[in-house]
Amino acid sequence: MKGFCSRGALLSLAVSLGAHAADVRLVTGDDYAPLTDRALPRGGMLSAVAQAALERSGLASSLAWQPWNRGYLMTLRGEYDATFPYIRAEQREHDFLYSAPLYVSEQHLFSRATDSVEVNDLAGISGRRLCHPLGWQLPAGVQALVDRGVLVRHSPPSLSECALLLLLGRDDVFLADRLLGVHAVQSTEVDRRRFHVSDSVLSRQTIHLIVPRSRPDAGQLIERFDQGLRALQDSGDYQRLIESFAADSVPVERRTTTAR
């Protein structure tokens, strides 16, 4: 039947997981709050979603923490079964299969309230300093502005550092998912009204769990995971999970007028 694994496929998946057949080995990285962070309940919002989806599919899981690049490469080599959260990228498409979206990320611009930047302002003034953490991929349109020299990219290790650099006047704007950006602003422990978040969304990106194509059962594992994710969404538990983490992110200052 369409949408469901056959009994033989389930047996194949169990055999491929070997002695730990009931334990899907997940790995993710730290300091990406509230999406993934070992200091947060259940390891952050998407850690909770990934493990809950597997549970709904009838598979137990373990969650390991590694530096981002190391965990990615270890998954590619088969030392972990899957990793998350990742957006689509051309090279990654060759090496991994993608789950259905765990989360749709809405990218906003964050700037100082005294020098607020809206999406339509971004290309208007040459030389603005854009803070975007090392290793993070920019949307194609923003990368084009960097390539043309309209924006000057600065890449510190973390988004929280970007928020601090805005306050110090060393950078002018940073780009982030709204939840990530608000968490970075909160980490500065200053009055949130000193920051501005753009009224409009710059871009939307889907975020996924990925399984290496080299696994013989990669397609079956993705299918099982997606079934569990759909069950989680249909039950309403997915939305409750998202809202429980979003509730901890207090909005920063926004204009009441529309974007220019």
- Token pair recorded at residue 256: 């009441």
Instruction: Report the CATH fold assignment for 105-203.
Output: D-Maltodextrin-Binding Protein; domain 2 (3.40.190)
Q: What are the residue ranges spanned by the domains of the chain?
A: 7-103+207-246, 105-203
Instruction: State pLDDT tens for residues 45-90.
Output: 999 999 999 999 999 999 999 999 999 999 999 999 999 999 999 9
* Other CB atoms within 10 A of residue 243 CB: 10
Taking 50 as the threshold, does the pLDDT of residue 195 lie above it?
Answer: yes
* Among candidate residues 222, 223, 228, the one with its CA nearest the CA of residue 210: 222
pLDDT of residue 255: 38
Confidence of residue 9 (pLDDT cuts 50, 70, 90): very low
Q: Which residues contact 142 (CB under 8 A, 6 or more apart)?
A: 122, 130, 151, 175, 202, 203
Report, as an integer, the average pLDDT of 115-136.
94
- Token pair recorded at residue 188: 């500065």
Quote the percentage of the chain above a pLDDT of 90.
82
pLDDT of residue 125: 86
Confidence of residue 247 (pLDDT cuts 50, 70, 90): confident
What b/e string do you get for 151-180 counting C-beta neighbours within 10 Å, with b at 16 or more?
A: beebebeebbbbbbbbeeeebbbbbbbbbb
Check residues 8 and 213 and name the one with the higher pLDDT: 213
Give CA 187 to chain center in angstroms: 18
Q: How far apart are CA 35 and CA 251, in angstroms?
A: 17
Environment class of 150 (CB within 10 Å of its CB; exposed 0-12, middle 13-18, buried 19+): middle
The phi and psi torsions of 26 (rounded to 5 degrees) equal: -100, 150
CATH architecture assigned to 7-103+207-246: 3-Layer(aba) Sandwich (3.40)
Task: Name the residue type at position 239.
Answer: Q
